């Protein structure tokens, strides 16, 4: 799966950006967006559950759904892909993880440099709008302002956290390899990250069991699961680190 030219690149690389999506947490038991539409949330309507308007209309329903997702993420364990990326961070000069996931599993695996493009399921933040008293009853409130709290995730139509994209794009410009792992590469602006790498002459490796929008443009498309393939990439690069250490 890892051909000679990729092996050589992995051995030379010291600065990586890894864009991750829901697929990286699939083997931790957290359904991807697509699985969610087919599986336990077959009646999932993103406009009801993942927009500010939906929250203002039915805050208890939205909170119930996020509470379920929180519990699921809290019970899940980081898998071999999260752990391999955390290990790689310790070895490389720079290994920035740019994730679309909100489950916090990269950090629980030990990764320190993580940009969360879509926020974090385990955090809250206050809304600025006032809800009618009957709608706001029993909702969690900010202890300081008294405002109703919402999950600190990016909903459809909302801005990404300030500076997150700029930081990711700048890191790509000085990187020597970009990985796109477990993402369908359709949700913007995250999907533009690997394209920015290609425009800047930075090689892109995709890891996904299925073909995506990115597959034909990527320099390598490795068809497999994140938990299988990412540890193989780290192992291939490590041959270099250990030899390097021995020669010092
Ligand atoms: P997506 O559901 O659109 O795509 C998931 C991709 O992962 C697919 O291309 C699929 O083929 C691939 N995949 C499935 N199993 C895999 C595996 N074992 N290894 C590697 N790849 C695998 O998800 P997305 O691209 O991240 O975008 C959808 C949005 O939904 C994002 O905003 C994301 O944050 C959000 N989301 C997050 C979580 C989470 O935090 N874990 C879960 C569901 C959805």
**Ligand 1 center to residue 25 CA distance, Å?**
8
Q: How far is ligand 1, taken at its centre, from the CA of residue 129, in Å?
A: 31
Find the mean pLDDT for residues 197-225: 97
- 196 and 87 in a common domain: yes
Confidence band (pLDDT; 50, 70, 90) for 33?
A: confident
Pocket test residue of 21, 106, 151, 229 for ligand 1, highest count of atoms within 8 A of CB? 21
CA distance 143 to 168: 33
Work out how many domains the chain is built from and give that number: 2
* Pocket perturbation via mutation, ligand 1, pick of 32, 185, 194, 222 by most ligand atoms within 8 A of CB: 32
User: Average of pLDDT values for 39-61?
Assistant: 82
Q: Are residues 192 and 105 in the same domain?
A: yes
Query: Are residues 227 and 244 both part of a single domain?
Result: yes
Q: Is the pLDDT of residue 248 over 50?
A: no
Q: Is residue 47 over pLDDT 80?
A: yes
130 vs 196, residue with greater confidence: 196
User: Do 222 and 135 lie in a common domain?
Assistant: no
Query: Do 185 and 90 share a domain, yes or no?
Result: yes
Give the CATH number for residue 42. Answer: 3.30.1600.10
Whole-prediction pTM: 0.93
In this structure, are 134 and 22 located in the same domain? no
User: Is 118 among the catalytic positions?
Assistant: yes
**pLDDT digits 0-9 by tens, 107-139:** 999 999 999 999 999 999 999 998 998 899 999
If asked whether residues 112 and 220 sit together in one domain, one would say yes
> Are 242 and 127 in the same domain?
no
Q: Are residues 180 and 212 in the same domain?
A: yes
Q: What angle (nearest 5°) sits at the alpha carbon of residue 53, between those of residues 190 and 155?
A: 20
Domain end call among 135, 153, 171: 153
One domain for residues 100 and 222: yes
- Domain holding 48, by residue range, is 31-75+123-153
- Residues 35, 25 share a domain: no
Domain co-membership, 136 together with 189: no
């Amino acid at each position: 799966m890892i051909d000679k030219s990729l092996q050589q690149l992995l051995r030379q690389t010291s600065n990586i950006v890894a864009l991750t999506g829901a697929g990286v947490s699939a083997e931790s038991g957290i359904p991807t967006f697509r699985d969610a539409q087919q599986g336990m949330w077959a009646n999932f309507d993103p406009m009801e559950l993942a927009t500010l308007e939906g929250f203002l209309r039915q805050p208890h329903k939205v909170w119930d759904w996020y509470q379920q997702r929180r519990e699921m993420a809290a019970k899940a364990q980081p898998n071999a892909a999260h752990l391999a990326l955390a290990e790689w961070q310790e070895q490389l000069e720079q290994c920035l993880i740019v994730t679309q996931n909100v489950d916090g599993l990269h950090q629980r695996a030990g990764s320190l440099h993580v940009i969360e493009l879509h926020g974090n399921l385990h955090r809250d933040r206050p809304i600025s709008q006032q809800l009618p008293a009957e709608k706001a009853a029993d909702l969690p409130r900010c202890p300081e302002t008294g405002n109703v709290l919402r999950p600190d995730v990016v909903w459809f139509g909302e801005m990404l956290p300030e500076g997150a994209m700029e930081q990711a794009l700048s890191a790509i410009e000085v990187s020597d390899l970009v990985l796109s792992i477990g993402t369908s590469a359709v949700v913007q602006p995250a999907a533009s990250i690997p394209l920015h790498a290609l425009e800047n002459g930075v090689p892109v490796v995709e890891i996904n069991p299925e073909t995506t929008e990115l597959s034909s443009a990527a320099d390598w498309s490795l068809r497999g699961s994140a938990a299988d393939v990412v540890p193989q990439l780290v192992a291939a690069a490590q041959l270099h680190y250990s030899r390097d250490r021995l020669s010092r």
